């Protein structure tokens, strides 16, 4: 049974959740901890010889030490690369937090040390008219790791998201800064401000280096205490 479960969320879409998640998985692997990963719903999937698949989910599948089928890693696939509830509506599907958290809960029963769950977009992305992705970690009572896309506006986005996580009664286990642009103005000052205003631990800052392997990312991040 998984000893710890981390839900990976971001301050926005395209802030590097998967890049950082694979680095955290690799960090755990290097510490001789067994890992599994799941992206319960993915929008922006493509038809392959093996069926509908998502690039981010494939990266999570490859990074984890415990071998899972693609269906276990990404049980709900949606074609359109938009908010999940909109993509689901386009395909005549209905999303629910209980079903998605059920997929995750099944993997917590595996003989592993850590289960990583990657969300889609940010903390309050809708699943339907009543629920958001935040309801998944709430139902699982999982710890949360926040990926902060370091760009103009990141301080506001990070503080609001961190507060929303706390208000939902969950433990923010830490945050990781991911530099999105090589020439961001006042980068160091932004990072220092985030470290000062977010009481939870900074688990690392990932530099802008283009495509990086999980091993490269792992050298910049650490696991929460």
Q: Express each pLDDT in 128-173 by its tens digit.
A: 999 999 999 999 999 999 999 999 999 999 999 999 999 999 999 9
Burial 210-224 (b: 16+ CB within 10 A, else e): eebebebbbebbbbb
What was the pLDDT predicted at 95?
A: 98
170-200 pLDDT, tens digit per residue, is 999 999 999 999 899 999 999 999 999 999 9
Spot the catalytic one: 3, 17, 39, 195: 39
Can you tell me the distance from the alpha carbon of 1 to that of 115, in angstroms, rounded to the nearest whole number? 10
Is 215 one of the annotated active-site residues of the chain?
no
């Amino acid at each position: 049974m998984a000893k710890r479960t981390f839900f990976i969320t971001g301050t926005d879409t395209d802030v590097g959740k998967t890049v950082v998640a694979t680095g955290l998985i690799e960090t755990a692997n290097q510490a001789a901890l067994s890992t599994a990963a799941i992206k319960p719903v993915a929008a922006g999937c493509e038809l392959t010889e093996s069926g509908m698949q998502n690039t981010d989910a494939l990266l999570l599948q490859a990074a984890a030490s415990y071998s899972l089928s693609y269906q276990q890693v990404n049980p709900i696939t949606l074609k359109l690369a938009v908010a999940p509830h909109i993509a689901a509506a386009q395909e005549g599907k209905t999303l629910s937090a209980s079903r998605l958290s059920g997929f995750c809960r099944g993997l917590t029963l595996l003989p592993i040390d850590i289960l990583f769950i990657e969300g889609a977009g940010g903390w309050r992305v809708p699943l339907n008219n009543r629920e958001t992705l935040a309801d998944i970690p709430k139902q699982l009572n999982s710890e949360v790791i926040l990926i902060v896309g370091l760009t103009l506006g990141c301080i506001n986005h990070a503080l609001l998201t961190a507060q929303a996580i706390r208000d939902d009664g969950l433990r923010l286990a830490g945050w990781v800064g991911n530099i999105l642009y090589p020439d961001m103005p006042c980068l160091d000052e932004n990072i220092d401000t985030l470290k000062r205003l977010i009481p939870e631990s900074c688990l690392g800052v990932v530099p802008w280096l283009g495509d990086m392997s999980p091993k490269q990312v792992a050298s910049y991040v650490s696991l929460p205490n």
